[in-house]
Structure 1
């Protein structure tokens, strides 16, 4: 194989890796960072067995991979992956939190009202400790998934094939990553894929990966801390009460939790429509001065163009 052919397969232009290689660098960087803790585990440090510590370490590894790929490999800044200064505006994050929480809370309360879900008493426990633990576990876990799917890979795929392909690919991968969860069903995975589309939509209309993270976390935290329900089939503490399925699984989610039913899908549609209206209204009033990010991940900075560098 000639050097020129090899270069064409590797680079879209001098010094610029093709999309597939860039994503591979991101994955390898994350894998390498995640294995930093292996020697510590071998030393028998008990703290590493705690769920919130593992969740934080995984998040740190993907954050490192994002930093390395976007800054070192591409020569971009945090804005290229939706984490620049404008992405952290308090008003935007509050709106994202409401979007994620209401998307699951409203349909869940409707299902409770019609008897498809119900609350049952459980032994009292340390409610504050459970509350804090869910935050410590779910916040970094949600950020990990957003960085892994709707962060750097999403930006690269969007710059190469456009936002529809980026949304479709990352959403399907999002669903596949949940295949090993307890109580998984085809309808549950379909809803996880739909949630991927929902979160990609949040990412796109706000121009902020931070907003997608907050919406993701608010959704999960509302289920676990508010309703004491399973999150993607994974149980959390339920001091005082818990939510149980008393209707058809296709409607209320079954063992997967409320997010596995069609009620959650309806909630996502309604909540995203409200978010789209709200962000549009805020821009017209000058309350949200920045437009949705149109990142092409070009070497010279975000330009909104597609490179077609697959």
Structure 2
């Protein structure tokens, strides 16, 4: 008999599966991080919290797929030539979106670039590897099992809207941010979440959204922009602001708070909204 928790087939409804996944993932990640902080420093150094977080979400994903008697590849996590190609394409998309935004700001006189005084390729690679853990964590959490079960239960439009809100709440704005920058940055976060969700739905896997997210962050780092308000280090270029109009440049928050980023992301969302998603949807 169907109920609020169980469907006509006698299985737990997708919505409750998604909620249970997110709750367990948060608990597991919290426990792993707390445990790592009790370790001696020389051991904890080799266990970055971003990678522990990613490992925790991957473990919970494996558990839930195991309970459904389905391979973890069905959630879009696989090592294959196709996944590698999608990852590379995603990297190019993400880097290209940031570069397009930066060039628009430059063209409108908002800033120019100078070579950073000290450039260390090794440090840039290390930063990219660190970013990889954070991106893997966020994409498996926000575009993985929970998102896909929500798509199956509510349809892709509702799932995109719901997880865009969740993504925004997971990236709170700093209280000291000017209201106009906070509004633009929040809108950009929502659009970025929708875009990443669309890419997952169109590609049918997590490789492309992981690549896009990493390409976006890494290009921000390379150009010397702040990432979600956090100052970038070890960049190749250094942005020098020529305009005090913060809604144009994003100010100290970076171009993720620029209105031009809003335009570029909106164009990307409209582009990826064409056609049908590859992931099965309820609507």
Under TM normalisation by the shorter chain, which class is it?
Answer: 0.7 to 0.9
User: Aligned pair 1:8/2:6, yes or no?
Assistant: no
Report the Cα distance in structure 2 between the residues aligned to 1:8 and 1:70, rounded to whole angstroms: 23
Q: Which residue of 2 aligns with 1:285?
A: none
Give the direction of change, closer, same or farther, for the CA distance of 1:26–1:190 in structure 2 (3 Å limit).
same
Q: Which residue of 2 aligns with 1:237?
A: 233
Report the Cα distance in structure 2 between the residues aligned to 1:273 and 1:153, rounded to whole angstroms: 24
User: Aligned pair 1:259/2:256, yes or no?
Assistant: yes
User: Aligned pair 1:145/2:138, yes or no?
Assistant: yes
Deviation at 1:260, TM superposition (A): 1.4
Report the Cα distance in structure 2 between the residues aligned to 1:14 and 1:292, rounded to whole angstroms: 25
Structure 1 contact 102–267 (Cα < 8 Å) conserved = no
Deviation at 1:180, TM superposition (A): 4.7
Structure 1 contact 252–260 (Cα < 8 Å) conserved = yes
Q: What SS does the corresponding residue of 2:232 show, helix, strand or coil?
A: coil
Deviation at 1:38, TM superposition (A): 2.7
Q: Which runs of 5+ in 2 are unaligned?
A: none
Q: Which residue of 2 aligns with 1:293?
A: 278
User: Aligned pair 1:164/2:176, yes or no?
Assistant: no
Give the direction of change, closer, same or farther, for the CA distance of 1:92–1:276 in structure 2 (3 Å limit).
farther
Structure 2 contact 131–218 (Cα < 8 Å) conserved = yes
Structure 2 contact 128–218 (Cα < 8 Å) conserved = yes
Q: What SS does the corresponding residue of 1:8 show, helix, strand or coil?
A: coil
Structure 1 contact 62–144 (Cα < 8 Å) conserved = yes
Q: Which runs of 5+ in 1 are unaligned?
A: 281-290, 296-303
Q: Which residue of 2 aligns with 1:154?
A: 147
Q: Which residue of 2 aligns with 1:216?
A: 213
| Root mean square deviation, CA, Å | 2.9
Greater C-alpha radius of gyration? 1
Work out which of the residue numbers 107, 115, 119 in structure 1 matches 2:109.
115
Paired residues, number: 277
Deviations 1:35-88 (A, max 9, x none): 1343342243355368x811111111111111112332x333234322246794
Q: Which residue of 1 aligns with 2:96?
A: 102
Deviations 1:204-257 (A, max 9, x none): 2222211011001000000102x0111111112145642244432222212211
Q: Which residue of 2 aligns with 1:286?
A: none
Report the Cα distance in structure 1 between the residues aligned to 2:248 and 2:36, rounded to whole angstroms: 45
Deviations 1:97-122 (A, max 9, x none): 21111111112022123321233565
Q: Which residue of 1 aligns with 2:37?
A: 41
Deviation at 1:18, TM superposition (A): 2.0
Give the direction of change, closer, same or farther, for the CA distance of 1:86–1:205 in structure 2 (3 Å limit).
farther
Give the direction of change, closer, same or farther, for the CA distance of 1:265–1:40 in structure 2 (3 Å limit).
closer
Report the Cα distance in structure 1 between the residues aligned to 2:95 and 2:104, rounded to whole angstroms: 14
Give the direction of change, closer, same or farther, for the CA distance of 1:229–1:92 in structure 2 (3 Å limit).
same
Report the Cα distance in structure 2 between the residues aligned to 1:235 and 1:79, rounded to whole angstroms: 36
Structure 2 contact 76–204 (Cα < 8 Å) conserved = yes
